Structure 1
Amino acid sequence: MTVSLSADARLSNAGARDFALPEDEAKAAWEADRQHLLHPWTNFASFKERGSFLVSGARGVHVYDTTGRQYLDGMAGLWCVNLGYGREDIVEAIADQARRMPYFTPFVDVGSLPAADLAKEIARIAPGDLNHVFFTCGGSTANDSAVRLIHFYHALRGKKDKRRLLVQMDSYHGSTYLTHSMSGRHTARSPLLNFETEMVQTLRSPNTYRRPEGMDEAGFLDLLISEMEERILSLGADTIAAFFAEPLMGAGGVIVPPRGYHARVQGLCRKYDILYVSDEVVTGFGRLGHFFASAEHFGLEPDIIISAKGITSGYQPLGAVIYSDRMQAVLNAAPEEAWFTNGFTYSGHPVVCAAALATIRAMEAEDICGHVRENGPKFETALKSLLDIDIVGDVRGSHFMMCVEAVADQKTKELFAPKADVGHRIADHAHELGLIARSIGNLIVLSPPLIFTEDHIAETAATLREAITRTRADLKADGFLA
């Protein structure tokens, strides 16, 4: 399938009447944002000059800026708008619950019908004996709460010294103080901030593309497992509470571990009484073609799954700690004085839970997971065609979770100098061409809505090819490429 990159094909006027603002209003909104709003992950030096790209509306798989210009959303918002924009069924579920009861406290022994119904639904679709749920406000608070639950669990077992957490380089688990400390993306760690370094222990990244030179994938797997076991023994298994891992790492660059990695790591965790936590904030709810990727995609039986993002298709903020019957049995045996003192005002918020219930209903009714299993491999194939461009070193991922890594030399895998800013250059050109893609250093990450069609896939690949080609010309002109 060939997709034209003409202006008409890229930048449709559809939605302009709905989302375009008068020029003076658009300028005032841009200035208000620049002067008063602190964004996540802000670089103040560039922000004070460039300000923000303001999105004023969205429909289907497209977003629109304040001029009414259309962009194909290659990021599903931020890994989350899985069912696309403008879903009236989800919107109506939110509105109906807000009219019925917008909120009541979830603390101690008070509950709401939507929260109870959602917990039951999650237990139904979760793998194995993961039949218990604690609700939070997002992925960061879910991972943070999981740590507290894990420490509480071990303490009830008489193993209070089991507090350390094993994480991986290049991982991402959130933005609370603790979960950012657990995130192994050291390049994202500002030297102006503090992080927990004793309780959190970081292991080598399972990045198969960046394995030691001359080592095959099987040898790399053996190295990872050997190093992990050595670390466990050196720290003392009786001090280690849990291992946290994303099935595929998201923000770290869609890192694909060697085949068999998760099963062997889980074997070590069971051997040394370490809980295995599968952080499925990104991979859960359909991105890899299943509600949860751990069991179906990787043959993994985690003790805990962390979920957020796609659980409501991004329509409301929700996180979930989904844990096992085995853990619940220990919690049920807790003495009367042992309270689990962790919670949030908006845990199990009824309106948010209504959005999640509507999302699950829609996913099952429309067989979204089946659609991803059918079309995800086509997305992989389309993006891997970019490997014929000499500055594309790797295209990796699975289904609708992909990454393109730019390199200065395909054979040596040498990176461009940081000043080349290659990822931003590619993303900026893609933006100019009508595609929203995420740059992370030398990487371009794509995680589109799960309703992407073959036409959307072809358009994405063609647009990204043009963006990389333009970037290559820029790099050559600026002396970063021979």
Structure 2
Amino acid sequence: MAAARDLKAMEAADAGVDAVELAKRHLVQPWPFAGSVGAEARALIGEGEGIYITDASGKRLIDGPAGMWCINVGHRREELAKVMYDQAMALSYNTPWYTMNAPSAELAMRIAGHAPGDLSHVFFTTGGSSAVETALRFMQFYNNVRGRPEKKLILSRGGAYHGSTYLSASLNGRPRDRDWMDGADELVVKLSSPDPFRRPQGTSIEAFTDFLVDQFRDTVARVGADRIGAFVGEPVQASGGVIVPPDGYLKRIREICRDNDILYVSDEVVTGFGRLGHVFASGEVFGIDPDMITFAKGVTSGYFPLGGVVISERILQQLRRSNHPDALFGHGLTYTSHPIGCAVALKNLDILEESVLAHTREVAPYFQAQLKTLEELLLVGEVRGMGLMGCVECVADRESKDPLKLDKDVGKRIDAHCHDLGLLVRPLINMCVMSPPLIISREQIDDMVAILREGISRTMEDLRREGVWQG
């Protein structure tokens, strides 16, 4: 038995070596640097089960980022694999241009049932970027049909991340995302990030919230509501460092949008499908009813590429009542409403509704409390989060909150130590982001936080020894 396991491990290692070499020769990774583009290999993952993944060396790791915020019901769910197989054997694909499939119609109904307000119709895409792109193109179409071709500007915020397609990437407000990339800058107006940790020293949360709302209102007045088509915002800024906005901020922004006929697009690519304990967080957690919600990632728990936009009935009625009934929304994707993706999403939604959403709401406070204990470490400036989303932000010192005096790869340093200890972390410059599969138990949360604590402690020792940090 042991010999068989050893043989399997050796075969996996050989396959890993081959994959590493093939990647260096042929594979272009996402978000590469020019100096290594097309010539790099990254950590090779061979298997996954539950909240764990196994790397090429056979090391078992807690999947701290849940893939990329998406493995919500965990790895190796046989019921999802079976649905994928069964649907592929029944109908693997149909053209959405002039045919349709039953799973997509049922899924649209199920999703609409969870959406707030009058959001009742769904356009399916292939992922989050294409979902945001679709929402923006739909806004442009909507205003063209209504005879307002000048109402196309988009309000976005610092720290935002909305995708990698041209329009969606133009909204991004994270450091380095746009340094070397072009975008539709003429269409985007940027606002401040709603980051309470980075508010001016001596400013209360209430005053900071008022500043954000006043800035939004003043921007609308300065630019002109007749030129602004949409505001796009994540309920919690995910890849920007898990920025949880101040209480009441989103409701106040929603009212300004409503008063000025600006479409409010809630980007729930990350927060949707359980990350905050509900299928959608906009209504259930933040008390807002957007005009559109974008989603992806958790809709299939990463088992199949799928995303979409939930659209308000009011908007659709206005289009149907217009004087241009023949106006064509010239937008679609080859894999729109893919039958396999929609079938997987239906089963995934069953799993979420049966137990996972309730479990997430039950363990989330424990997850947040345990992560918060890491603020005892001198390198940690703040631990923040909501639901099963968390961020540990490291700073040179807590008074200045300056991350730039630290080694710029401090997050990667922590991740490397954690990898050795049995945890995969998502490093973001000076931050470590955690968003484990929603099925994680309290005991597994304890393991994750203990490893992260040790990884940060080892990094502190490294920085002191190298003279980079004297904390």
TM-score, normalization: structure 1?
A: 0.94
Aligned to 1:93: 83
Per the alignment, residue 279 of structure 2 pairs with: 291
Query: How far off is 1:168 after superposition?
Result: 0.5
Could you tell me which residue of structure 1 aligns to residue 327 of structure 2?
338
SS in structure 2 opposite 1:298? coil
Residue 467 of structure 1 aligns with which residue? 455
Equivalence for 2:205:
217
Amino acid at match of 1:469: S
Work out whether 1:115 is the aligned partner of 2:128. no
Residue from 246, 266, 270 that aligns with 1:258: 246
**Alignment map for 1:1-40 (pairs within 5 Å):** 21-40=11-30
Q: Which residue of 2 aligns with 1:6?
A: none
Deviation at 1:410, TM superposition (A): 1.6
What pairs with 1:315-326 in structure 2 (closer than 5 Å)?
315-326=303-314
State the Cα distance separating 1:78 from its structure 2 match.
0.3
Q: Residue type of the partner of 2:227?
A: T
Instruction: Check the 8 A contact 2:27/2:38 in 1, yes or no.
Output: no
Any unmatched runs of 5+ in structure 2?
A: none
Contact 2:47 2:55 in 1 (8 A): yes
State the 1:382 CA deviation.
0.5
SS in 1 for 2:185: coil
What SS does the aligned partner of 1:230 have? helix
Structure 2 residue 167 is matched with structure 1 residue 144: no
Q: Does 1:270 align with 2:258?
A: yes
Looking at structure 2, the residues matched to 45 and 16 of structure 1 have their Cα atoms a distance apart, in angstroms, of 38
Distance 1:133 1:302 in 2: 14
The 3-state SS of whatever aligns with 2:11 is coil
**d(CA) in 1 for partners of 2:442 and 2:37?**
36
Establish whether residue 73 from structure 1 lines up as the match of residue 60 from structure 2: no
Choose from 22, 33, 45 the match for 1:55.
45
Deviations for 1:380-421, whole angstroms, at most 9, x for unmatched residues? 000000001011000001021000000111222122436452
**Is the 1:134–1:320 Cα contact (8 Å) retained in structure 2?**
yes
Partner amino acid, structure 2, of 1:51: A
Q: Is the 8 A contact 1:181 1:196 kept in 2?
A: yes
Deviations 1:167-201 (A, max 9, x none): 0100000000111111111422132x211111011
Aligned length: 465
Alignment partner for residue 288 of structure 2, among 300, 313, 328?
A: 300
* Equivalent-residue separation in structure 1 for 2:294 and 2:23 (angstroms): 32
CA distance in 2, matches of 1:344, 1:375: 38
Asked whether the equivalents of residues 19 and 64 of structure 1 are also in contact (C-alpha less than 8 Å), the reply is no
- Paired residues for 1:223-242 under 5 Å: 223-242=211-230
**How far apart are residue 89 of structure 1 and its match?**
0.8
Question: Which residue number in structure 2 is paired with residue 3 of structure 1?
Answer: none
Distance 1:19 1:293 in 2: 42
Asked whether the equivalents of residues 17 and 68 of structure 1 are also in contact (C-alpha less than 8 Å), the reply is no
Mean alpha-carbon deviation: is it higher for 409-418 or for 427-436?
Answer: 409-418
DSSP 3-state at the match of 1:85: coil
Q: Percent identity?
A: 43
Alpha carbons of 1:49 and 1:459: their partners in 2 closer, same or farther (altered >3 Å)? farther
Q: Distance in 1 between matches of 2:34 and 2:143?
A: 42
2:154 matched to 1:159?
A: no
CA contact 1:285–1:292 (8 Å) conserved in 2: yes
**1:24, distance to aligned residue in structure 2 (A):** 3.4
Decide whether the 8 Å contact of 1:16 with 1:69 is kept in 2. no
Alignment correspondent of 1:183: 172
Distance 1:155 1:47, change over 3 A: closer
Query: What does residue 354 of structure 1 align with?
Result: 343
- Deviates further, 342-351 or 144-153: 144-153
Residue 409 of structure 2 corresponds to 421
Distance 1:194 1:326 in 2: 34
Query: Deviation per CA, 1:6-34, whole angstroms, max 9, x where unpaired?
Result: xxxxxxxxx98767635433212110011
The structure 2 residue matched to 1:174, chosen from 163, 169, 181, is: 163
**Using a 3 Å threshold, how does the CA distance of structure 1 residues 57 and 239 change in structure 2: closer, same or farther?**
same
Question: Aligned partners of 1:17 and 1:25: how far apart in 2?
Answer: 12
Structure 1 Cα separation of the partners of residues 150 and 39 of structure 2: 50
Q: Distance in 2 between matches of 1:25 and 1:271?
A: 59
Deviations 1:40-86 (A, max 9, x none): 11135467886211111111111111222211100110000000011
Query: Which whole-Å CA distance do the structure 2 matches of 1:452 and 1:340 have between them?
Result: 42
Alpha carbons of 1:46 and 1:345: their partners in 2 closer, same or farther (altered >3 Å)? closer
Q: Secondary structure at the residue paired with 2:119? A: coil
Query: Compared with structure 1, are the counterparts of its residues 201 and 186 closer, same or farther at alpha carbon in structure 2 (3 Å cutoff)?
Result: farther
My pick for the range that moved more, 40-49 or 141-150, is: 40-49
Please state if 1:198 is matched with 2:152. Answer: no
Equivalent-residue separation in structure 1 for 2:49 and 2:106 (angstroms): 29
Instruction: Find out whether 1:458 has 2:456 as its counterpart.
Output: no
Within the candidate set 109, 113, 126, 1:124 is matched to: 113
CA deviation vs aligned residue, 1:244-288 (integer Å, no higher than 9, x gap): 000000101001111111001011101111011100000000100
- What is the DSSP-based 3-state SS (H/G/I as helix, E as strand, rest coil) of the residue aligned with 1:64? strand
Partner of residue 196, structure 2: 208
1:318 & 1:331 partners in 2: Cα distance? 26
**Closer, same or farther: CA 242–214 of 1 in aligned 2, 3 Å:** same
- Relative to structure 1, the CA distance from residue 135 to residue 420 in structure 2 (aligned partners, 3 Å threshold; closer, same or farther) is closer
Kept in 1, the 8 Å contact 2:27–2:39? The answer is no
Distance 1:463 1:49, change over 3 A: farther
The 8 Å contact of residues 418 and 452 in structure 2, kept in 1 or not, is answered as: yes
- Alignment partners' CA distance in 1, 2:409 and 2:19: 29
Match of 1:409 among 397, 400, 404: 397
After superposition, what is the alpha-carbon deviation per residue over 1:418-455, rounded to whole angstroms, capped at 9, x for unaligned?
64521111111111111011011101000000000011
Deviation larger for 36-45 or 280-289 = 36-45
CA contact (8 A) 2:395 2:406 kept: no
Does the CA-based 8 Å contact 1:74-1:435 persist in structure 2? yes
Partner amino acid for 2:164?
Answer: S
Pairwise CA RMSD: 1.6
Q: How much does 1:126 deviate?
A: 1.4
Q: Is the 8 A contact 1:20 1:67 kept in 2?
A: no
Distance 1:148 1:48 in 2: 32
**Long gaps (5+) in structure 1:** 1-14
TM-aligned CA distance change 1:92 to 1:218, over 3 Å: same
